[in-house]
Structure 1
Amino acid sequence: MHFIKPSEHLIELQGEYSYPIIFLSILIACVASYTALSMNKRAQQRSFFHRNFWLSLASIAMGFGIWSMHFVGMSAFSLPVSMHYDRLLTIISVFPAMFASFLAFYIANRPKKLFWSYGIASVVMGIGISTMHYVGMAAMKMEALHVYNAWLFTASILIAIVVSFIALYVFSTLQRYMENHFIQLMTAIILGLAVSSMHYTGMIAMSFYVSPDHSHTSTAAHEVQMSFIVISVTIGMALLLSLLLLSSLLDRYVKYRTNHFDMLTRLPNRRQFEKKLSHSSVKQTLAIWHFHDMEKINRENGYLYGDGVLQSISEIMVNFNPPQTDLYRIEGNRFAFLGWGTESETMFKASMEKIAQMLRDSTVFQEKEIVLQAVCAWLPASQQNDATKTYSNVLAVLNSPSLQYKFEIILYNPAVHTYTFEREIASDVERAMAEDELYLVFQPKINSKTREIAGVETLLRWKHPTYGVLSPAVFIPILEANNQMLDVTDWVIERACRQLAQWRHAGEGIEHVAVNIPGQYVTSSRLLKVLKQTVTHYGLEPELLELEITETSFVRSIDEAIRAVRVFRQEGFSVALDDFGTGVSSLSYLKQMPISTMKIDKSFVDEVPMSEKDSAIIQAIIALGDSLNLSIVFEGVETEEQVQFLASTCEQPIIQGYYFAKPMIASELIAWARTFRQSV
C-alpha cells in the first residue's frame, strides 16, 4: 500500500466509471440490507429456529452484500491496463464484513444499549468495512501502481465509522418499528448508501500510475472480465438472498405445521378441528374414534412402541378416509372424521365399518401381538337439529357409562346419550371447582408497536377424570343451561385475582388480567359485590381487572347493561366489549356504552390483509374505536401478515393470538414472558 508516488517520471492514468454498474452496486447494498433486516426481524419473533440462527443469517446477508457491492463497484471503474484478482485475498476479504455486520446486529439487539456502546461498535464496524474494502483492493493485481491519497484514505475510514454509527443508532432506535415495511425499506436504503459512500470515497482516494513506455491495453478485455465478475457476483448475490428468504419461508411453514398439525401422525390437530367445526355454516357429519387404554400399551411396551401403534392406526384411517371428509387427531387416543353434505352418509358409514374391520384384524404391530380396544361414535348431518351441538352430541356417545370398546359404530341417540352426559357434567362442576379439575390458562395480549405485554386474558379449562380434557365449547353451554355459570364465574374471578396478586408480589411484570363475564350475570347486583370483595381481599386496584362482556349481553337488555357497566366503570374496573361485530346491536348504542376496550372478533381478522372487504371493515372499526378513544384488541391473530397490517393501520394495536403465544398455565406464562422480554 503506497501513499507517496515512487517516481516523478510515472504517468497517471485516468479511468472511467460505468454509471449503470454504480447504480447496480448501490442497489445490491440496499437489497442486502433489506434482507439482513428481515432476518434480524425474524430473530425478534417466535420461531422454530433459535434467534442466533437468524442473527447469523442476517450477518451473512449483510456481509456478503457489502462484499458483493465492493466488487461490483470495482467493476464500474475501468483502466487501460490488464488486471486480475488474487482468489485467496478475494475470499478472505468477505470475513471482516461479516464480522462487522454480526457486531452491528448484536449491539442493536441488546436489551440495554448505552450511547458509548454505539461508539465502540461503530468504530469496530467501520474498521471492519474498511478492512474488507482495502483487502479487496489489495486482491486487485494490475500492471499499474496504485497510490492512496492519505487524507482521502483517512476520510474513507472516518466515513465508514460515522455512517456505521448513524446506521446503528437509526436501526436500534427504529427496531420496534421494523414491522412497518416502509420504515424497514428506508432503513435498508440508509444502510446501503452508508456502505456505498465509504466504498466510492476509498475509490476516489486511489491514483494509478504507469511508466512512460507502458503500452496501453484496450479496455475491451477489461470490460469482458469485469462483465463476467458483475454477472457472477450478481447471480451469487441473488442465489444467496433467495436462500435466505427461503429459510424464512421455511421457518414460517415449520411454525405453521407445528401449530396446526400433529407431529406424530402428520394429521391436522384439534386446533384445526375446532376451527373447522365452529366456522362452518352447514351441518356436518362427525365421527370420532376413541381408543381405550392406550396408556396400558405404553406401559407394557414403551412409548416408542405406542407411537408406532398410533402411526399404524392413522395410516389405516387415511387409507379408508371417505370422500369429502377431513381426518384429524384431536387427542392422544382420539381421531375425528368431519364430512360435509348428506348424500354420502351411506358411504361414510361403510368407511367406518371398513376401518373397524381392519383395526379388529390388526392384532400384530412390530412383531408383537396386542389387543386394541376402540369404539366409533358418529352423527350424520341429516339427523342434526342444531349444528352447534354436533361435537357435544358425539362426545355424549363416547361418555355413555354403558359404552363398550368392541369396534362398534354407534349412532348418537338423543333419548339415550344427551341427558346422561349433560346431567353428569352439571352435577360434577361443584367437585371440579373444589378439587381443581377446573383450572385457568392465560393468553397474553401484546402491544405490537412497543412489544410490551399489555395484560392477559383468563380462559377456563376442565380436565375431567372420566372424559379427559373437555372443550369449553362443550361444558360452558351445559353449565349455562343449568344456571351454574354464575358460581363458576365467581370462582374464576377469585382465582384470577389470586394469581394476579401473586405475580405482582413476585415482580413478574404482569399488571392486568381480563375475565369473561356471562351475559346473564352482567346486570346482577351480586357481580359487583363479588368483584369489590375479591379485589379488596387481594389488595388489588380495580383498574387492574378487566371485565370482558360480549356484545350479545347488551343486545338482551341494552339499557340495563349500559347502567351496569357505568357502575363498574365508576368503581374503577375496566370493561371490554368482547367479540365486537358479531352481535346485532345498533351502533347508535355504542356511544352510550361506557366501555374502555373494544375487542375485534377473530372472524374479522382471519382473512386480512388478503380480503379487501375484511381489511376495509377492520379499518372502519379502528376508525370508530379511535373516535371513541377506546383501546382496541385484535383476537385470533396468527400470521405475520396480519400483525403487519394491523400495526400499519392502528395507532396502538393490542394483539392476542397464536402469533405471539397460545393460552398457558401460570408457570408456562411466566417462563414465556421472561423469554419474550429478553428477545425484545
Structure 2
Amino acid sequence: MFSPPPIDNGIEVSGEYSLPIVILSIIIASLASFTAISMNERIQKNSFFHRNIWLILASIAMGFGIWSMHFVGMSALSLPFKMHYDYLLTCLSIIPSIIASFLAFYIVNQKKRSFASYLLSGIFMGIGIATMHYTGMASMVMEAYYVYNPWMFATSIIIAIIVSFIAIYIFSRQQKYAKNNYIKAITSIMMGLAVPSMHYIGMAGTTFYLPRHQAMTAELHMNMTLLITGVTIGITLLLALLQLSSLVDRYVDYRVSHIDILTKLPNRRSFEKALNDDGSYRSIAVWNLHNLEKVNNDHGYHFGDEVIQYAANVLRQLNLPLSDLYRIDGNRLALLLQGNDRLIELQQAMKIISAKWVQPILIQEKKILLQGVCAISTIDDQQSPKRLYSDILAVLSSPSIQYQNEVIRFDPLIHTYSFEQEILNSIDQAMKNDDLFLVYQPKVNAGTQKIVGLEALIRWNHPEHGFLSPSVFIPILEQSHRISDVTNWVIFKVCHQIKIWEEQKLPLYQIAINIPGEYVTSPRLLKTLKKALNKYSVNPSHLELEITETSVMESAESSMRAINTFREAGFSVALDDFGTGISSLSNLRQMPISTLKIDKSFVDEVPQSEKDSAILEAIIALGHSLNLNVVIEGVETKNQVDFLSSSESLLLLQGYYFAKPMIPEELLEWIKGNS
C-alpha cells in the first residue's frame, strides 16, 4: 500500500487531468453541499415530516455528492492503461460517506453545541470523505497497481477534516447570526471544496505502476461512460431532492399559515387576503358561537373542539354555490359569497342553520345547546369588500343581541354607532393625550425576592367612561386590527422610559412587552422596534417580547421564523400563558424562546391541591431542562410564595403579593422600599 515495487518489477506511469471535468467535480460537490444544507435547515423548523427524515435526506444528498464527485474526478484522469470498476465495491463505497454525513449533521443539530461538537462533526465528515475515496480507489480493477505516499495519504485526510470542520462551524454559526443565501452558498462551496481537495491531494500522493511485461497503450483512456452515468445520476438525484425540499417547504408554509388545524378550513389570514385581494365577494355571514367558552369550561377543550368541528361541518354541508367558508376566530365561522343579489338566498340558508341549533345537538352522547348569533351583510358594486367585515363587527357589538341564534342583517341606522366604535374612534386621541398610559409590574427572584425585571401593561383613563379594564378595550382593538398601532405606541413609550431612567442614573431592568398574535409575524413590528431603539439609544437586550402560546401555534411556521429574527436582533422572547393554548410540548424544544411564562391558572390552587402542585413543578422542571427562564405570574398569597421559593430558587415570580402594576413614580418608590 505504501511501499513502491522493486525497480525491475514495474514502470512508473502518470496520467493527465481534464480541467473542465475537474471543475465539474467541484460543482457537483458544492451542489450536493447546498442541497444537504438546505435540507438540514428543515430540521430546525416545524414540518409535517419528522426531523429525522430531513436528517436522512440531508445525509443521502451529501453522501451521494461525495460519491459522485469521486468518480467524476476519477473520470477526469486519463491513464495509459485500461481500467474498469468492481460494481459491488463501487456501490458499497457510498455507505461511508452517507453514515459520516449523518453523524456530522446529527451532532451539529443538537441543542447544546460546543467547539468540541463542531470538531467531532468535522472529524466524522472528513473521515467519511477519506473512507469513501480510498474505498472507491480499491474498487478499480486494472492491470497496473498503485502505491500511496504515506505523508500525502495522511495530509489528504487531515485536509478533509479541517475544511469540513471550518464549513460546518461557519454553517452552524450562520444559522444563528447571519442566515442568508449568500453565506449558505459560501458554506456550500467550502464544504464542496473539502471533498475535491481531499480527492486530488490523495491522487497526487498516488503513484501508478505498470508491470514491465505490460505494454502501455498508445492513447490515454478516459472512462466516458462512467462520467456520463455518474453525472446524470448525481445531478438528477440532487435536483429531485432539492425540488422535494422546496415543494414540502411551500406546502408546509401554506398549511400552517393559511389553514385552521382543527377544522381544516381556511383561517383568518386567508379570510383577510380574500377580502383584500378578491373583489368578487358581495355578501357575508358570520356565526359567533357565544357560549363556546362555557362549553370548554364545563366539558373540556377537546369537547369544545368537537363542537367547533360540528358547526363547521354543518355550514360546509350547505354547499352554497360560489361560496367559501373560513374559521376566522376561535368561536367565529365566516361564509363569503360571490355575486350580486344573494341576500335572500343567504338569509334563508342561515335561518335553516339557526333552526337546527335551536334544538340541542348531540356531541359525545351529550346534549348541549349552542348559543350564538349570525350577522349578515351585503354590498353593491361601488363598495369595497373590506367593508363587509366592519359591518359584521358593528352587528356583533350591538348590545341588543340575545345570542339565541338570531340571524341579524346589518342596518346602518341601528349598527353604525356602538361602544366598540367609540373605543376605536377615541384610541388615537387617547394615545396623544396620555389618557392611555403604561404601568409596570415587577418580577422578582423567588430565592432572593429582589427585582429582576418588569412587565409593561396598558391602562386607559377614558374621559367619559373612567378607567377601562384592558379586558374591555383590548379585544375590540384586536378585532378591528388596531392593536398593532397601540403596540407600536407601547414600544416607543417603553424605550422612552428606559432612556429617562438611564439619564437619571437609575438601575435598568429588562422590560417585557406583550405582542398580539396577529402582529408577531408582521415585518412592521421589527421595523418599529429598530426605529424605537435607534431613537432612544436603547439596547435590544433591555426588551423582552411576550407572545402567547396560542398565537404561535396558530401560525407556527411563520411565528418560528419571526422569533428567530427577534432573537438574532438581540431581543429576548417569552412564551406567555404557557399551557392555556394548544398543547405545544412537542414543539417547545424547537422554539428559539428565552423565557417560559406560566399562566396564573396553574398557580391558583397551589399548594393546597397536590395535583396542581405536581403539574406546576413538572412544567417548571420542563422549562429549566430546556435552559429557559421560567416566570410564574399571578402569585398572590404567602403560601404560594413559600411553596415556589422552597422548591426552586431560580424562578421569577410576578403578582399582587409583591406589587401591583405601578406608574413609574410609584415603581421607583417601591424599588427604594425593597432594595
TM range (shorter): 0.5 to 0.7
Question: Aligned pair in 2 of structure 1 residues 357, 550: CA closer, same or farther (>3 Å)?
Answer: closer
Amino acid at match of 2:167: A
Q: 2:376 aligns with which of 375, 378, 381?
A: 378
Question: Aligned pair in 2 of structure 1 residues 516, 259: CA closer, same or farther (>3 Å)?
Answer: farther
Query: Could you tell me how far apart the structure 2 residues matched to 1:304 and 1:113 are?
Result: 40
Amino acid at match of 1:605: P
Query: Could you tell me how far apart the structure 1 residues matched to 2:562 and 2:202 are?
Result: 42
Question: Aligned pair in 2 of structure 1 residues 506, 673: CA closer, same or farther (>3 Å)?
Answer: farther
Amino acid at match of 1:315: R
Match of 2:248 in 1: 250
Q: Give 1:254 shift.
A: 1.7
| Contact 1:287–1:376 (8 Å) recurs in 2 | yes
Q: Give 1:81 shift.
A: 2.8
Q: Give 1:394 shift.
A: 2.9
Query: Could you tell me how far apart the structure 2 residues matched to 1:312 and 1:262 are?
Result: 14
| Contact 2:521–2:559 (8 Å) recurs in 1 | no
Q: Give 1:38 shift.
A: 2.3
Q: 1:676 aligns with which of 591, 594, 599?
A: 591
Q: Give 1:250 shift.
A: 1.0
Correspondence 1:429-448 to 2 at 5 A: none
Question: Aligned pair in 2 of structure 1 residues 69, 561: CA closer, same or farther (>3 Å)?
Answer: closer
Question: Aligned pair in 2 of structure 1 residues 120, 351: CA closer, same or farther (>3 Å)?
Answer: closer
Query: 1:34 and 2:42 equivalent?
Result: no
Correspondence 1:66-77 to 2 at 5 A: 66-77=66-77
Match of 2:342 in 1: 347
1:290-321 per-position Cα deviation (integer Å, ceiling 9, x unaligned): 5688969x99x98998687456434334x315
Q: Give 1:228 shift.
A: 2.7
| Contact 2:59–2:101 (8 Å) recurs in 1 | yes
Match of 2:59 in 1: 59
Q: Give 1:180 shift.
A: 2.6
Amino acid at match of 2:141: K
| Contact 2:79–2:222 (8 Å) recurs in 1 | yes
Q: 1:289 aligns with which of 263, 287, 290?
A: 287
Correspondence 1:357-376 to 2 at 5 A: 357=352, 376=374
| Contact 2:46–2:556 (8 Å) recurs in 1 | no
| Contact 1:178–1:184 (8 Å) recurs in 2 | no
SS of residue in 2 equivalent to 1:346? coil
Match of 1:158 in 2: 158
Q: Give 1:20 shift.
A: 0.8
Query: 1:653 and 2:569 equivalent?
Result: yes
Question: Aligned pair in 2 of structure 1 residues 381, 606: CA closer, same or farther (>3 Å)?
Answer: farther
| Contact 2:444–2:453 (8 Å) recurs in 1 | no
| Contact 1:62–1:101 (8 Å) recurs in 2 | yes
Q: Give 1:21 shift.
A: 0.9
Match of 1:468 in 2: none
Question: Aligned pair in 2 of structure 1 residues 226, 87: CA closer, same or farther (>3 Å)?
Answer: closer
Question: Aligned pair in 2 of structure 1 residues 111, 329: CA closer, same or farther (>3 Å)?
Answer: closer
| Contact 1:519–1:552 (8 Å) recurs in 2 | no
Question: Aligned pair in 2 of structure 1 residues 115, 266: CA closer, same or farther (>3 Å)?
Answer: closer
| Contact 1:268–1:327 (8 Å) recurs in 2 | yes
SS of residue in 2 equivalent to 1:676? coil
Q: Give 1:207 shift.
A: 2.1
Q: 1:261 aligns with which of 259, 262, 265?
A: 259
Match of 2:191 in 1: 191
Question: Aligned pair in 2 of structure 1 residues 263, 161: CA closer, same or farther (>3 Å)?
Answer: closer
1:61-115 per-position Cα deviation (integer Å, ceiling 9, x unaligned): 2222212211111111122333222222222212211222233233333444444
Match of 1:201 in 2: 201
Q: Give 1:9 shift.
A: 3.3
Q: 2:335 aligns with which of 329, 334, 337?
A: 337
Q: Give 1:26 shift.
A: 0.7
Match of 1:232 in 2: 232
Correspondence 1:78-227 to 2 at 5 A: 78-217=78-217, 222-227=222-227
Q: Which segments of 5 or more consecutive residues in structure 1 lack a partner in the other structure?
A: 423-472, 528-546, 580-596, 609-617
Q: Give 1:568 shift.
A: 7.1
Query: 1:605 and 2:605 equivalent?
Result: no
Amino acid at match of 2:409: L
SS of residue in 2 equivalent to 1:268? coil
| Contact 1:285–1:378 (8 Å) recurs in 2 | yes
Match of 2:613 in 1: none
1:484-509 per-position Cα deviation (integer Å, ceiling 9, x unaligned): xx99989x957xx36x44799899x9
Query: 1:270 and 2:245 equivalent?
Result: no
Query: Could you tell me how far apart the structure 1 residues matched to 2:412 and 2:102 are?
Result: 65
| Contact 1:89–1:135 (8 Å) recurs in 2 | yes
Query: Could you tell me how far apart the structure 2 residues matched to 1:331 and 1:623 are?
Result: 31
1:6-37 per-position Cα deviation (integer Å, ceiling 9, x unaligned): 66232233222111111011111112222222
Match of 2:641 in 1: none
Query: Could you tell me how far apart the structure 2 residues matched to 1:391 and 1:76 are?
Result: 71
SS of residue in 1 equivalent to 2:342? helix
| Contact 2:100–2:124 (8 Å) recurs in 1 | yes
Match of 2:395 in 1: 394
Q: Give 1:624 shift.
A: 9.6
SS of residue in 2 equivalent to 1:267? coil
Q: 2:577 aligns with which of 638, 641, 665?
A: 665
Query: Could you tell me how far apart the structure 2 residues matched to 1:137 and 1:328 are?
Result: 61
Amino acid at match of 1:653: A
| Contact 2:452–2:509 (8 Å) recurs in 1 | no
Query: 1:16 and 2:11 equivalent?
Result: no
| Contact 1:64–1:237 (8 Å) recurs in 2 | no
SS of residue in 2 equivalent to 1:214? coil
User: Once structures 1 and 2 are overlaid, which stretch shifts more, 212-221 or 169-178?
Assistant: 212-221
| Contact 1:28–1:69 (8 Å) recurs in 2 | yes
SS of residue in 2 equivalent to 1:337? strand
User: Once structures 1 and 2 are overlaid, which stretch shifts more, 87-96 or 35-44?
Assistant: 35-44
How much is the aligned-residue C-alpha RMSD, in angstroms?
6.0
Q: Give 1:174 shift.
A: 4.0
TM-score, with length taken from structure 1: 0.62
**Identity over aligned residues, as a percent?**
36
Query: Could you tell me how far apart the structure 1 residues matched to 2:403 and 2:58 are?
Result: 58
Amino acid at match of 1:208: F
Query: Could you tell me how far apart the structure 1 residues matched to 2:521 and 2:173 are?
Result: 35
Amino acid at match of 2:523: V
Q: Give 1:59 shift.
A: 2.4
Q: Give 1:167 shift.
A: 3.3
